[in-house]
Each structure stands twice: as C-alpha cells, then as structure tokens.
Structure 1
Amino acid sequence: MPGRIVVSTGMLHTLDDAEHEVLLAHERAHLTGHHYAFVALAQIGAAANPLLRPLAIAVTYTIERWADERAATTTRDRARVARSVGKAALAARHSPAGLRGAAMGILGRRSGLAGAGPVPRRVAALLAPPLGKHPAFAAATAAVLAAAALATAEAAHDLHRLLETIGAW
C-alpha cells in the first residue's frame, strides 16, 4: 500500500517552490525508509522500559537526519535542505500544534552544538561536508548484532534447560 504525505497549507505557504521539493524529498524518504516502524519500535521499548527513553529520542533524531540526508542526495543541494529545515522548523514553532520535540543523538560529531536543540544540529550537519562511508562501523554494527542474537539464543536455551530441570516443561 503506498503511503501518503500530508502537508499543511500553512507550511506550503511558508516554503517556496524549491523548498517544497526539499520537503517532499524529506517526507518521501520517511515513507520509503519505513521510518515510522523504527520510531514506533523505539517508543514501544521506551514505554516498556523508561531507561530506554534517551534511545527513543535518539532514534527520532537519527530518523530525521536520515531523511535530511536523503533529501540532500535527491536535491543535490545540502544548503537548500538546511535552509528548508530551519524555515520549516520556524514555521512549525509558530503553529498552534507545533512539531516540536526534544531530541538528542547518542553518537555524532563533537561540536559546540552538543547542547543545542535538534534543529540547529540538523542544520549544522547539513552545512558541513557529508560524512564518508566507514566500513569499520558497518562491520562493528554487524558484530554487535550477531553477538546480541547469539546471547539471546543462549539465554533462551538456558531458560529451556532450567525449566526442564525443575520439571516445569
């Protein structure tokens, strides 16, 4: 089922045609990347375990950065994406509902913006040169995921043996 992008008329009036292209590229990135699933899983985890709230906030921020980078790739203009993000955030801030939210990244560039809100950090990241690909990070992530899967399987096996031992199985 194809997704839908809903944009308020206020946002459309605030942004010019070039910024509409950025907005739609950003929102299409959310749709095609199924970002709602990542955010939903992080929020469910945070609801189940309040200690995971910082992780859920970091996931939300990272999802926005992911869509920003996809929009920058699509439009081939990082500066225009940065301007559009800032302009849209200002427009949303003045709206009644406001699309505000605190977000923090767990990992990222060390800069003077470490204590800034998510929008200034997103704009700064877009104005900086794009990060290169790091195969070592991909390998480390795969190793951590594999270790977590093996540990989960081992824990399930141990639980099964424990239940057999006490005769509960």
Structure 2
Amino acid sequence: MIVAVWIPLLMPLLAVPAARRLAESLAPRAAAWLLTGCAVALAGCTTAALGLLLTAGALRLPPVAALDHLSLPLLGGDPAVSVPAAGAAAGLLGATALAVVHRIRRHHTELRTARLATDAHPTSGDLCVLPHAAPDAYALPGRPGRVVVTAGMLRALPPDEREALFAHERAHLAGRHHLFLLTAALAAVCHPLLRPLRAPLAYALERWADETAASRVGDRRVTARAIGRAALAARPAATAAHRPGTVLAATTGPVPRRVAALLAPERPAPPPPRTAVHGRRLIAAVALLACLGLSAASALDAATDLHESLRFTSAHAFGFPAVAPAAGQVRCAGR
C-alpha cells in the first residue's frame, strides 16, 4: 500500500509523546482541550485511512466494481495486496464500531445505575449525601448534575474544606469533564496507541477542577488541604462498591502532585526568554502540529488519489475522454 494511507495509522507513535510533553507545560484547561483535540484528530484520521483501504480494496471485487461500471484493470495495483488489506480494514472498522457502541452504552448504564441509587436518598440542591461510612465524594453528571458525598467524608473534613471539596466536584459538573474522558476513551477504541493520553487528560481535568475550586473558595491552601485530607480518608476498596467507574472524583489521580501545584505560587515570576523550558515547549508544539498536519494531509491525499482514479475509470467505462492521472497518482489500491 502507498505511504499516504499508512501514515495516519502510525502517526500516534510520534504525536502522543509530543502531546503529553506539551500538555505538561500548559495550564490545566488548555492541556485538557489539547489532549482531547489531539485524540479526536488522530482517531478521525485513522478511521479515514481504514475507510480508504476498505474502499480501494472493495472496488477490486467485480460485484462492487460493477455497481459503478468500473473497469477493474484501470484501478491499478495488485488485488493480491489490496483485497486482503480491505478485508483487514473492514474487520477493524467493524470491531471498532461495535466497541464504540459498547463503550457508550456502558457509560450511560453506569451513570443511570448511579443516579437510580442516589434517587433513593434526599438531596439539598445539587448535593446528595449517601449514608455510607466509607469517605467518598464524586461528581455525578446528568440532568441535573449532582455532587455525591458520603456521611463518612463529611465527618472527615472540617466545614471550610468541605466547601472546597464541593467546589471541586461542581467544577467537574460545570465543565462537563466526563465528556472529555469519554471522548478520549472512544478515540482509544479507534486506535489503541491513543490510550496513553487518558492518564494526562485525567490529571489535567483534576487540576482544572482544583484551580476552579481554589478560585471560588478564595484560599489555595484550604483547597490543597481538602484534596489531601479527602484522599487520605478515602479507601478505594470501600468506595469502589458504590462509585461509578466513569465519574471524576477529587481523591483520584496523583494527589501529592496536585497538592504541590496548589501550594506553589499562583503567579510565579516569568522566566527569562529563550530558556530551555521554552525551547522544549516549542519543539513539542512544532512536533505535534507536524504530526497532526501530516496525518490529515496524508489521509486527504489518499482520498484525492482514490477520487481521481474512480473519476478516470468511470469516464473510460462510459467512453468519455478523460485525462489519465499522472504517473504514480493512482495509488490508493496500489502496492
């Protein structure tokens, strides 16, 4: 197969490390958008490349080619290569579609089950208190969204830290952070090499909520203490029984790193220009843009070649004059 078709399938090997490196130097909100957008773009290019492989190979089959009165020899390429590749692409696309549907259904099922469980308990505004002794708190999206907290967590925190914890979970609801994670999960279904983006995305979302909570509470140290104390009080084995796996919680992720970020100066002095940090950030940004651009351009180039090939063969089949593609242009079904 031509290089243009395969580039989007291999580009995550370079783009994912570049995105992770760049996200580390950005503000949490920008990092979350960057990682999610990168996952969507790479997954889209991968799906397009598989679709092109499937189309180019399927058109080598007489029943499919006859639908558009195509002349098979004019499509170029070796059917011994393009047809098996099309079969593999069809299998991958079919498996991906089933996995995406399953992932979305599981997401909605877990949220629906959690909401049914919380409906059995009284709520105050967006706050729902569960009578569990195990300390836990999480943001449960829906209409309306709810901040779910257990009685054990309320006993573990003083009033000011409770407010900081609630502000953190409300930030998850307001920002619809669960959709970021769901999008990244679906992208990883489309291409397994995108799975390493989930961990930095989850961290960026927690840091985004941390900063929002600190701004609303007006005290970064109180927010840091709330996050740290809640994480120490929470016991994963005990909270796993009633917390859905698709929700965000303040006690998850690298809590010491998040607490350290909250206790750091809010506005550090700007570093001198052209430092090594700026250089690494620039290199990561350029590398990521190059990877995304090359992936999209390769998919577009392969689609254009296939379109020109079909246009030429269709015109030839109906006896109309057509300008043959330039040498090497008809490549989508080639070797």
Is TM (by shorter chain) over 0.5?
A: yes
Identify unmatched segments of 5+ residues in structure 1: 100-116
Q: Mark the CA change 1:20 to 1:50 in structure 2 (over 3 Å): closer, same or farther.
A: same
Distance 2:299 2:196 in 1: 27
The corresponding residue for 2:301 is: 158
Deviations 1:44-101 (A, max 9, x none): 22333333232110000110011001000111111111111011111213651358xx
The corresponding residue for 2:55 is: none
Distance 2:191 2:148 in 1: 32
Distance 2:295 2:303 in 1: 12
Deviations 1:83-136 (A, max 9, x none): 11011111213651358xxxxxxxxxxxxxxxxx7111011111111246x9xx
Corresponding residue to 2:264 among 128, 131, 135:
128
The corresponding residue for 1:97 is: 239
Structure 2 residue identity aligned to 1:161: T
User: SS of the counterpart of 2:266?
Assistant: coil
Q: Quick check: 1:38 aligned with 2:150? A: no
Q: Quick check: 1:65 aligned with 2:207? A: yes
Q: Which moved more, 1:12-21 or 1:78-87?
A: 12-21
Distance 2:166 2:230 in 1: 12
Distance 1:2 1:142 in 2: 38
The structure richer in strand per residue is 2
Q: Mark the CA change 1:94 to 1:150 in structure 2 (over 3 Å): closer, same or farther.
A: closer
Q: Quick check: 1:16 aligned with 2:158? A: yes
Q: Mark the CA change 1:37 to 1:145 in structure 2 (over 3 Å): closer, same or farther.
A: farther
Task: For residue 145 of structure 1, report the CA deviation from its aligned partner.
Answer: 8.7
Please say which structure displays the higher CA radius of gyration: 2
Structure 2 residue identity aligned to 1:29: A
Q: Quick check: 1:85 aligned with 2:220? A: no
The corresponding residue for 1:51 is: 193
Task: For residue 157 of structure 1, report the CA deviation from its aligned partner.
Answer: 3.3
Structure 1 residue identity aligned to 2:160: A
Normalising by structure 1, we get a TM-score of: 0.71
Identify unmatched segments of 5+ residues in structure 2: 1-142, 244-252, 271-277, 315-335
Structure with the larger RCO, 1 or 2 (CA within 8 Å, 6+ apart): 2
**Residue correspondences, number:** 150
Computed over aligned residues only, the root mean square deviation of the Cα atoms, in angstroms, reads 3.4
